[in-house]
Amino acid sequence: MVLCFAVLAAIIAPAPAGASASDDPEVNLEKYTRIDPGGTGDLCETYGKPAMLTLRYLGGNEVQHHQDPGKVAATGDPGATQPVMIIVSEKANGGGKVYFSGLVALGDQFSALASQAGDSALRSEIHVTVLDGAAVLQSIKFHTSCSQPLHLGDRFGSVVLVGFMDQDGGEETLPEPDLDDIGQDADQPTGPVGQVGDSVTWTYLVTATDTVTQPVITDDSGTPGDPSDDFTPNPVTGVNGFNVGDENEDNAINPGEEWVFTYSSTVRIGQHSSLAVLVAQTAASLPQPVTDSDPSHHLGQFQGDLCETYGKPAMLTLRYLGGNELQHHQDPGKVAATGDPGATGPVTIIVSEKANGGGKVYFSDLVALGDQFSALASAAGDSTFRSEIHVTVLDGAAVLQSIKFHTSCSQPLHLGDRFGSVELVDFGDKDGRGPNQDALQPAADLCETYGKPGSLDLQYVGNNVLAHNQDPKKVSATGDPGDVSPVRIKVSEKSGGAGKVYFDGTVLLGDTFTAAAANAGDSSFRSESHVTVLQGATVLQAIRFHTSCSQPLRVDDRFASVVLKGF
């Protein structure tokens, strides 16, 4: 990889200006985007138990895979540290049977072999320990017994699965990326197009008309308002540890030099736009900051049966398009759509277990033409949908359309399937996995990671929607504040604001507030917490959820009108 980038740095002409967001002529940043194919399916299902796994070390800590989140863990972050010592073993911290042990540079591949430890196949799980000398930088665990799927391109912390071989020699490998092809300078959408699970690599080229030092690139990861997922791309270094573009190895970008940085991730569904910002310092006696920026775009698509990839749905996002069109992958006998709303909008849409809004109700609200809405099994106290769902489209009390399709996964579900006036645009299973933006990176259980909560940051969003990871019996919400704002919110140990009080204050719609155990003299919350939403003396909503950590808590868990944002 080092040699390829050394050649790259020599042959690529200085990047043209034009994407710069700065008038300062001293530095120029160009960001390129390349997509490489991912795997084609579950390797275990195709071949059998793995005897060898080939992994590529990418640094950082990204979890994006197809396994049950409870089977995978990655703690610590090696960043761009290289070379590192990597040990792949049967038990944590290099314990038990050892399948690989050696020094690995950033971007390099290595193979964990069951035969290295005298076995024909890897045990039920493997542990990857990343060390810098004696210091443990990262500990990774994932499942390898084939009771959990393995896909090429699955990312576990700082390593990505790029090759697989079973006990009988059946194997599949991701094609080696062409490192001389840095992709497109995709300043405008759509940019490169890939499938969910493909690898996306960004290459950042930095030049300067005057000597500058201390270049730092920060990429907003496509979320300009959320710095929590920002990342710093890795420098591509030569044999002496200097950037491959640092021709005189003086740790300064001199005129005529072109420094190279890279970062890899995995393609997710949808159109993505991200911005990289470069900040460097002039080499004058009084250094001054100089900056430049460059955007990039890529489009992620998903093809295939969502049920086969993920499992039974717990969430379906639909777009209301009006009309009556059937274009799907299910048995025609399992689908029906009667009536035609035409272009009527807004309409009331009810998504339910039975016809005409009967049985369990997964969604009910006004929807405008072209808008999306999400039906949630958890809204009716279930972990997944029943065998079929019914969509009823109404104009006032008049039924414009009745739709039925299958949701037990005995029939396929594909993104873009059209059932009458609605189109399937997103999908999530009971573990939060699916092809959406957070598709293969389920939120971690905060309790499992940290322990009992001492404070919770909650956002008041109004309405009454339940979308969480707790046992439905542990959660309840009565009443609906709609979009009322401001409201008074009390968070307490007991219902109605009784017992210990963790928060009591006025909150606007969209505001975030902090409930703290310390406000009631405790170090952590009691077994459950109650949120009471009031307007004056009128109780608009009473909410209850679990906070003892016998039930999971994850960022973006929604408990009626409040969403968990921090822990």
Least confident range from 225-229, 360-364, 399-403: namely: 225-229
Neighbours of 38 (CB within 10 A): 22
pLDDT at 436 over 50: yes
- Burial of 196 from C-beta contacts in 10 A (0-12 / 13-18 / 19+): buried
Is 0.75 topped by the overall pTM? no
Least confident range from 168-172, 308-312, 373-377, 562-566: namely: 308-312
* Length of the chain as a residue count: 567
The mean pLDDT value of the chain amounts to 87
pLDDT at 439 over 60: no
Neighbours of 356 (CB within 10 A): 12
- Cα 225–chain centre separation: 16
Task: State the pLDDT at residue 191.
Answer: 93
Q: Does domain 2-36+179-301 correspond to CATH entry 2.60.40? A: yes
pLDDT digits (tens, 9 = 90+) for 360-378: 999 999 999 999 899 999 8
Domain extent listing, the chain: 2-36+179-301, 48-167, 308-429, 446-566
The residue with tokens 């980038």 is 5
pLDDT at 438 over 60: no
- Would you give the DSSP letter of residue 9? H
pLDDT at 146 over 80: yes
Task: State the pLDDT at residue 39.
Answer: 66
pLDDT digits (tens, 9 = 90+) for 2-47: 334 433 444 344 433 333 334 445 899 999 999 987 766 788 888 8
**Alpha helices (runs of H) in 245-333, residue ranges in sequence order:** 306-309
pLDDT at 1 over 60: no
**Cα gap 177→336, rounded to integer Å:** 46
Nearest to 317 by CA among 349, 287, 359, 292: 349
| Average pLDDT of the segment spanning 446-460 | 84
Which amino acid is located at 85 in the chain? M
Q: Residue 467 corresponds to which tokens in the numbers above?
A: 């979308």
pLDDT digits (tens, 9 = 90+) for 83-122: 999 999 999 999 999 999 999 998 889 999 999 999 999 9
- Cα 269–chain centre separation: 10
Q: Which residues contact 193 (CB under 8 A, 6 or more apart)?
A: 35, 298, 299, 300, 301
Nearest to 493 by CA among 520, 453, 470: 520
Q: Are 369 and 359 in contact (CB under 8 A)?
A: no
